[in-house]
Structure 1
Amino acid sequence: MKRKIDDSLAVWLDEFNLQLAALNATGVPLSATRARQGLATITQSLVTDIPHIAMITDDAIEHVPIRVYHPQPLQPLPILMYLHGGGHVAGSIAVYDPVCRKLALASQHIVVAIDYRLAPEHPYPAAVDDGYLCLQQLLPQLDRMAINYLPQVSIGGDSAGGALAATLCGLAQQDNRISIHKQVLIYPSLDYTLSLPSTVINGRNYFLQTDKIEWYFEQYFTDQDERYKASPLWQAVGEHFPATLVITTEFCPLRDDGRYYYQKLCQQGVSAQHYHVPNMVHAFLNLENVVPTHCQQVYERINTFLAIDEA
């Protein structure tokens, strides 16, 4: 079957690739500052519909800043702990504010966004440690904040945030103090070895490029030999793993991370769903003004998945 990218996205992507080529021609090296500014600028420029949320509160779990979105503060709602994307180097709860608002409204969950520490200043496993700390202390923290909630915690993330979410689900298998209801992975990064076919097939000219992913991982890991064992795709999955929704896109170097992970979950008897978007690139939720219908469909799919009663 012939692959075809979305028409509106193709026009935008052509212009983006021209700008990227011009920037690369200057010889200015990629840096954490440049990566952070790039993600923030694109998201702020292309996710301009900022919905109202009845309650938004900033706080912290020890040293980790959090932002809580409650769409109906007078009603107890289930919780979605969310970890943003950005290659473990970029992104923040501020940059992802519009995405988290939309997740809260669409899913009717209390979204708790985690501002985990970033590389290279804080390399692996700092972000994992921050996420695990927040999982452990999430409900007591919401009690202290007098948040009206149901004690049902799901976890989600996009790209690098998906890697963190999947890693935390793996760790939670060994900790009976933590119960994760469901997991939502949006074009997740799950193989730090970059050994799957889509890293080559989709490695250039589709927004996220494989050489940039490699650079991200070089910032994240001080010991590159840790990349295999840290990859959720290659970690053990137990029978009590939470029900999982994996969202992938066709024109994404991480496409096969999600596909292979979904297959692995199914083979292990885990309840899993795979939602594949055939004409999109990585991180298209951050490009919403270009592809608004596709973004809305993803939020609706997440809502449907979280609303299903997994008996």
Structure 2
Amino acid sequence: MTRPMMLARRGLLGSVLAAPALAQPGWPDRPVRLVVPFAQGGPMDAIARLLGDHLQRAFGQPFVPEFRSGAGGNLGAQQVAQAAPDGYTLLVTIDTVMTVNPTLYPRAGYDAVRDFTPLGLVARMLSVVTVPPALPVTDIAGLVALGRQRPLTYGSAGIGVPAHLYGEHLRMLTGAQLEHVPYRGLGPAVTELLAGRIDLVVALMPGVAQHVAAGRLKALAVTGGARSAFMPEVPTLAETIAPGFDTGTWFACYGPRDLPPAIAAGLVRELAAFSASPAMRDRLAPLTFEPASAGPEELRALQARDAASWARVIREARISVE
């Protein structure tokens, strides 16, 4: 073989190796189900529909959100865990299904590590420590000091939801006297907070952002390791009373275990493209989603870290739903 031919062959091989991973030939040739383990409405609905739109444009077939609520997200996760690993059933989920439920529900019906193929992180959302204007505190340190003097009540959408877990975590970190008051949804909890009948809620940002902006609630701190672009003036728990605190709500996509590598590679590529897309960021911003991207191994590590953290909170606080 002549030197020019050898160089040409190497160039061709290099271009093949450098090309982006392609999905398995022939996939998808029919609609793909995006199982959402909660009811329609709220952040999960929004992220699933936006992601479905992006994937449909990328792969030329509909990616249709299918809402399968029940048991704190367990029923939807079970459905994907038991699905054929053919790329036609995927899970779009909030972090708690993979990090909280395995400890909170001993009989969840799936193994969050063994039964899924992690594909990628697509967005984050922070929670906000909020109090009514009449509560005599101006910052998170003042809230903790008040809670050490007398009991404070905090609301949530029920046992084991993020607002409950954050409240218990805050109690454990600070020694404040915080008493949990569960409601049937975050809306009723925020309504009671606005009326001053409870003292605080650690709420996902969309549930309280408009009330904070209008002065009807005070935002004292946000979760996560960095300040939110949506409330840049509000400090984090990490920079105030809990150094190193870096926990927020995240949204990710998984397939069943043993998803074919070629299909997984194509999805990983497009999930990263979704997170990086300026158009998608513009559509996510009004909902206070923060763009986030992580590949399969990073997602696996994040899941393991948060699962260990929440397991400790659940056990020490003796939280049980069964």
Bigger Rg, structure 1 or 2: 2
TM-score w.r.t. the length of structure 1 is: 0.30
